Amino acid sequence: MWAANAAEVGAALFPAVTFLLAGLLATGIGTGYGTTIAFVTLVFPAGLLLGTNPILLFGAILSGAVFGDNLAPVSDTTIVSAVTQDADIGGVVASRVKYAVAAAVPAFAAFLIAGATMTTTDPAAGSGVTAGAAWGLLHLIPVAIVIGTAIRGRHIVEAVSWGLFTAFVLNVMLGYFDLVDVGVSDVLVFMAPESGLVTALDTAPLIGAVIETVPAGEAGVGGSLYNGAVGFFPLIVLTLLIVAGAQIMRQGGGFEALQRWLLDTVATTVRRAEVTMVLGTAMVNAMVTINTAAEIAIAPYIRTLGRRFNINGYRRANILDANTSALGYIFPWGGGVLAGYSAMQTLPDEYGWFTVDMVVNPAAVFPYVFHGWFLVAVFLIAAVTGFGREYVSDRESEEVSRV
Amino acid sequence: MEEEPTIESGQGRSLDFRGGPAASAIPIGVFIVWAVFQSGVLGIGDTSGLVVGMLVGLIAGLPFVRGDWKTYADAIFEGMTQEVAATAAVAWLWAGMFANTIQAGGSSTAWCGPPTPPRSAPRCSRR
């Protein structure tokens, strides 16, 4: 809001600017779902107050999520796309920028045009808009550190650890100087059932900051470190099992049979192989709405198909990720759309002026996720024309352990 | 170029199925049907549910194995211990912690919404 106020953004410009800001946040935190939820909760109401069209605005938020999910070095789809194609994440992100920008520029223009021409709601009366704290923008620093370090070729564990450390220090300082309502216990907290020992530790200096006393039934560990890690446990287990299933298919001969069929009937030239890869990823992602799971399942085929034609790791990774990222936020049953929709449904309760008919129907937003569509188009065109096609001889991707 | 450690390792038909190579696709096939049904048809976005789908798929492949089921189990272990899975797991854990720490620090305060009258303080819900 601070940035938006400063630029005096009107209802016409709001979707385009939201697309940029959402894209920025999503690229920083790597989760399109998280960006969608955050923006729907905080930016969406503000936009409606200015009179922005709700469907267009939701489409802009989802587009930003696609952008970040596609490009961010810490995005799970980006990581899977790089790892399964034996390419280093930094190199993948650097090579992907041109496709992302090629889609983002027309998308931004489309949001400007649509923002100016689509009918808007009447600006809601009665609530003033106060300036939010600008301190939050400081969090772009750890984000920039992670992106910069990863692109420079450092190991992803190192890059993210640096970002984590700076984010932690930033949080502690912001909390200590009372600039933002955050503290060490938001990063890590031990919620222990009451006992003599626990009470003593709770009041102790330093360690007391991470200890809280709670009723016995509510004991647990919490904080951002905990939530962030635990959130991925199911996906990690799923990945292990999918890879096990793939191994069975390989050792049983099924993988080779399917591959031979694809190469014989469909993917007979480089161009046809790439188009098959683009359409194949689109199809599987349209059916399996948890896009990371779909991506892991398709990855071996992209890898073998691509390598048969000497397409290098970066190109394969980019083809794999594009439709995976895009489609999760387009179809009404996509995980990203549903995440935003559930956040939106809480808004009528939060804001008195937010009426139920301001909530966007997921089935209505799909034409307006401009960046998603343009990304699909960019890769289809790239496969047909050969734009950005890289062979192993052009540039060898770094080994995956450099990831 | 270095020996690639990942997906291509373990070539060779050390596993025989009743129904030939096509039967080796049963575990993944069952998973895809499950995933499409759960997330596409029913609209349930529960990743843990998909885990169960994959487990059921792996069990479903067992009756089709020709010979000692131990080779099937060994294939499962070999698949699960591949570097791809480990690298992805490490990357996700770190990325998850980072993303959540950023959000906890209230970068969302930069995007605070307007207050609902009569409250005067901005309503920033931190995620």
DSSP string, A278-294: HHHHHHHHHHS-SHHHH
Give the C-alpha separation, B98 to A145, whole Å. Answer: 12
Contact status of B111 with chain A (Cβ, < 8 Å): yes
Complete DSSP assignment for B59-117: HHHGGGEES-HHHHHHHHHHHHT-HHHHHHHHHHHHHHHHHHHHHHTTGGGGG--PPPT
Kindly give the confidence (pLDDT) of every residue in chain A, 403 residues in length, as a single tens digit, with 9 standing for 90 and above: 554 444 345 778 889 999 998 998 888 878 787 788 778 877 888 888 888 889 999 999 999 999 999 999 888 899 989 989 989 888 999 999 999 999 999 999 999 999 888 766 555 543 433 333 355 567 778 877 877 787 677 777 888 888 889 988 888 888 888 777 778 888 899 999 988 888 888 888 888 888 888 888 889 999 889 987 887 788 788 888 988 988 898 889 888 888 888 878 877 888 999 999 999 898 888 777 677 878 888 898 899 888 889 999 999 999 999 999 998 898 877 778 877 887 887 777 777 778 888 888 888 888 999 999 999 999 999 999 988 888 887 776 665 544 4
DSSP H helices in A134-290: 140-151, 156-176, 184-187, 196-203, 224-230, 233-251, 254-261, 270-287
Give the C-alpha separation, A333 to A285, whole Å. Answer: 11
Write out the two tokens for A59.
């489409």
Write out the two tokens for A56.
């267009």
Do A296 and A80 form a contact (C-beta atoms < 8 A)? yes
The pLDDT, as a whole number, for residue A135 is 57
Give the C-alpha separation, A86 to A71, whole Å. Answer: 17
The pLDDT, as a whole number, for residue A120 is 67
DSSP H helices in A85-155: 89-117, 140-151
Of the residues A137, A248, A324, the best mutation for testing chain B's interface (the one with the most B CB atoms within 10 Å of its CB) is: A248
Give the C-alpha separation, B69 to A354, whole Å. Answer: 60
Residue type, B27: P
Q: Is B70 exposed, middle or buried (0-12, 13-18, 19+ CB in 10 A)?
A: exposed
Contact status of B33 with chain A (Cβ, < 8 Å): no
User: How many other C-beta atoms are found inside a 10 Å radius of the C-beta of residue A381?
Assistant: 14
Q: What was the ipTM of the complex prediction? A: 0.78
The H or E element that residue A190 is part of is strand A189-193
Give the residue extent of every domain in chain A. Answer: 1-134+226-403, 189-222
Work out the minimum CA distance from A323 to partner chain B, whole angstroms: 17
Of the residues A241, A327, A351, the best mutation for testing chain B's interface (the one with the most B CB atoms within 10 Å of its CB) is: A241
Give the C-alpha separation, A72 to A87, whole Å. Answer: 15
- Res. B114: pLDDT tops 50: no
Do A149 and A162 form a contact (C-beta atoms < 8 A)? yes
Pick from A36, A27, A21, A22: nearest CA to A71: A27
Indicate yes or no: CB of B10 within 8 angstroms of CB of A247. Answer: yes
Pick from A253, A367, A369, A246: nearest CA to A303: A246
